[in-house]
């Protein structure tokens, strides 16, 4: 039998497959993306990239109610999008196991904010598990499915960037290959309108059921196998240790590195918290430290229960921890400095890829003096030199709607000088509703979709505009012209242009800037990296032909064929 080195994301996929998961769905977002990619292609599992996180969770709830164990993945801000079905899924319950991976991003390695999604578990009244390494990511995924079915609830599995992308050993497979177990429930939906149809009368009854479930979960947390106390060797059973640490997740590894002999209460089930276990541990140490990244969730609860501890006084609530930060907070000797690289590496600023087909749009928008409302993804990099062409960025799909808000109140000299820029995947995710809002409310606005044929920022995942679905099977692609027609956008306010035709792009921006009403400019240029991949699978020529036809049949100024 051999050990294997897996990333946390790969380990979650493995654990889900071993647990008999039937459906995996999600929306790509760093650091969660690789989970579904690792799960896709495994036998017996259907996987899909959904249009957005809300859709993914709703698909997941439906699959679970029909008896299939389901894994739904997203990054931390994706839970904001999925919050609506999340809170009510807590009421309906799930029947088969439903595990929601939230991949938080301490230090904002690739995110627009640094939120702690343990707060979602508390607010939605659903349990949350948090592994510390790849082996636990594998084990806790299985435990999460079991917990979900035992208590009839969605269960969060909280990952963080460091855990998702770092690799550690997992235990050998029996027989040298992973073994898939059969899920305990047979597929099949069993009608139960009082449980699954959340009209107010039913929901009031389910609210009581949710509270009853939380009480049972609180009891179960005391003995849950994901929680454990590690006493140092040789410490008498009745001794009081000088200090002890309560921690979870990746910080546990840092605590063990800088204070290997310290008593530790390691929490794997981070919601609900095991009050009795915590109190017993606290009673056996003189100084109790809580080491947790981001929000003081555990610390706040301990103090609410009257258990004194040291948390924020010693550890910042901002950013990602390191062994040095943890050692300093615990008053321990600082770890030896890591090896210094022998080569001086030139600092590389983030930016659009050299040769990106869409760089001319940013150059022209700045030249024309537009206020640019930007969006998430590759094109957020338009804010950086040499373009310096983006003025706002809030969240997925907000470019169109924020532009509408700004246009309502800007002075006359700025009227008509606000443009929204969004990528194709983000447009499908939540930009379309913003476009519909503009049309419906009779607004003015220039909206530019930079279509590179893929979801490039997260690693080339397909989307509803790319003509493919997960696994690169062919799929229908949303038709911009029909979408515009359905929204009553006149032909002369829709244009599709080639991203490499810089003269036409400039002309299109100047032409549409002089129009009123809702104007939609689609700039078509394949991502260079995606193009190389398409070439290898002999799809590049066809995709180029399709996009050239779109440009030919939807010229600037209307008169579509």
Distance CA 240, CA 236 (A): 9
Average pLDDT over residues 24-38: 96
Tell whether the model's pLDDT for residue 4 goes beyond 60.
yes
Cα angle: 422, vertex 424, 427; to 5 degrees: 60
Average pLDDT over residues 87-109: 96
The predicted pLDDT at position 113 comes to 94
Tell whether the model's pLDDT for residue 561 goes beyond 90.
no
Average pLDDT over residues 66-81: 97
3-state secondary structure 451-499: ECCCECCCCCECCCCCCECCCCCECCCCCHHHHHHHCCCCHHHEEEEEC
The tens digit of pLDDT for each residue in 387-441 reads: 999 999 999 999 999 999 999 999 999 998 999 999 999 999 999 999 999 999 9
3-state secondary structure 384-402: CCCCCCCCECCCCCHHHHH
Which domains are delineated in the chain? 4-222 (3.40.50.970), 228-330 (3.40.50.920), 357-553 (3.40.50.970)
Residue 92, classed as helix, strand or coil, is helix
Tell whether the model's pLDDT for residue 560 goes beyond 90.
no
The pLDDT-based confidence of 559 (bands split at 50, 70, 90) is low
The predicted pLDDT at position 324 comes to 95
The pLDDT-based confidence of 1 (bands split at 50, 70, 90) is low
* Angle at which helices 76-92 and 53-65 cross, to 10°: 30
The predicted pLDDT at position 233 comes to 87
The predicted pLDDT at position 330 comes to 96
The tens digit of pLDDT for each residue in 505-547 reads: 999 999 999 899 999 999 999 999 999 999 999 999 999 999 9
If you average pLDDT over every residue of the chain, what do you get? Answer: 94
The pLDDT-based confidence of 342 (bands split at 50, 70, 90) is confident
The predicted pLDDT at position 396 comes to 95
The pLDDT-based confidence of 82 (bands split at 50, 70, 90) is very high
Of the candidate ranges 193-207, 226-240, 319-333, the one whose mean pLDDT is the lowest: 226-240
Neighbours of 375 (CB within 10 A): 32
As given in the structure block, the two tokens for residue 276 are 């009795």
Distance CA 294, CA 390 (A): 29
Of the candidate ranges 8-17, 266-275, 539-548, the one whose mean pLDDT is the lowest: 539-548
The predicted pLDDT at position 176 comes to 82
Residue for token pair 């606005």: 445
Cα angle: 505, vertex 506, 512; to 5 degrees: 85
The tens digit of pLDDT for each residue in 227-254 reads: 999 999 888 888 899 999 999 999 999 9
As given in the structure block, the two tokens for residue 247 are 């921690």
Strands (DSSP E) contained in 272-378 are 285-291, 371-373
Cα angle: 193, vertex 141, 264; to 5 degrees: 120
**Burial label, 519 (beta-carbon count in 10 A; 0-12, 13-18, 19+):** buried
The tens digit of pLDDT for each residue in 114-126 reads: 999 999 999 999 9
Distance CA 403, CA 421 (A): 10
């Amino acid at each position: 039998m051999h050990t294997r080195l897996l990333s946390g994301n790969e380990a979650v996929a493995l654990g889900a497959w071993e647990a008999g998961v039937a459906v995996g769905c999600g929306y790509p977002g760093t650091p969660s993306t690789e989970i579904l990619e690792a799960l896709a292609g495994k036998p017996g599992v259907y996987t899909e990239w959904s249009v957005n996180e809300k859709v993914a969770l709703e698909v997941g709830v439906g699959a679970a109610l029909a008896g299939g164990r389901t894994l739904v993945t997203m990054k931390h801000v994706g839970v904001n999008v999925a919050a609506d079905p999340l809170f009510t899924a807590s009421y309906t319950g799930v029947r088969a196991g439903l595990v929601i991976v939230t991949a938080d991003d301490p230090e904002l390695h690739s995110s627009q904010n640094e939120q702690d999604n343990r707060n979602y578990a508390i607010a939605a009244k659903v349990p949350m598990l948090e592994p510390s390494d790849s082996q636990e990511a594998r084990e806790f995924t299985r435990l999460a499915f079991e917990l979900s079915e035992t208590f009839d609830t969605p269960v969060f599995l909280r990952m963080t960037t460091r855990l998702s992308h770092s690799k550690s050993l997992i235990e050998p497979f029996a027989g040298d290959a992973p073994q898939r177990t059969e899920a305990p429930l047979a597929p099949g939906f069993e009608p139960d309108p009082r449980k699954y149809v959340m009209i107010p009368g039913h929901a009031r009854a389910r609210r009581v059921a949710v509270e009853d479930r939380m009480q049972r979960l609180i009891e179960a947390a005391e003995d849950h196998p994901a929680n454990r106390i590690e006493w140092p060797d040789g410490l008498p059973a009745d001794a009081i240790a000088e200090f002890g640490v309560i921690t979870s997740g990746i910080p546990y590894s840092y605590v063990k590195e800088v204070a290997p002999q310290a008593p530790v209460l390691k929490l794997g089930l981070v919601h609900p918290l095991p009050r009795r276990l915590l109190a017993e541990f606290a009673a056996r140490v003189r100084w109790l430290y809580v080491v947790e990244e981001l929000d003081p969730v555990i610390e706040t609860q301990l103090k609410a229960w009257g258990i004194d501890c040291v948390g924020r006084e010693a550890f910042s609530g901002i950013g990602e921890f390191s062994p040095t930060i943890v050692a300093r907070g615990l008053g321990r000797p600082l770890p030896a400095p890591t090896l210094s690289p022998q080569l001086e590496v030139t600092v590389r600023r983030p930016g659009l890829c050299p040769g990106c087909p869409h760089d001319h749009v940013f150059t022209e928008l700045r030249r024309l003096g537009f206020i640019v409302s930007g969006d998430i993804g590759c094109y957020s990099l338009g804010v950086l030199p040499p373009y310096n062409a983006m003025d706002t960025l809030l969240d997925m799909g907000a470019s169109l709607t924020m532009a509408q808000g700004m246009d309502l109140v800007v002075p006359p000299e700025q009227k008509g000088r606000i443009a929204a820029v969004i990528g194709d995947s983000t447009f499908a995710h939540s930009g379309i509703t913003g476009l519909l809002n503009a049309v419906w409310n009779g607004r003015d606005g220039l909206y530019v979709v930079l279509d590179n044929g893929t979801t490039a920022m997260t690693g080339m995942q397909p989307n509803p505009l790319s003509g493919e679905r997960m696994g690169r099977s062919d799929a229908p692609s949303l038709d911009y012209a029909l979408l515009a027609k359905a929204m009553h956008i006149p032909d002369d306010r829709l244009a599709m242009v080639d991203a490499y035709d810089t003269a036409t792009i400039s002309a299109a921006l100047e032409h549409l800037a002089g129009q009123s009403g809702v104007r939609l400019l689609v700039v078509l240029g394949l991502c260079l990296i995606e193009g190389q991949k398409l070439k290898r699978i002999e799809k590049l020529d066809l995709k180029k032909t399709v996009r050239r036809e779109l440009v030919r049949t939807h010229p600037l100024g209307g008169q579509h064929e």
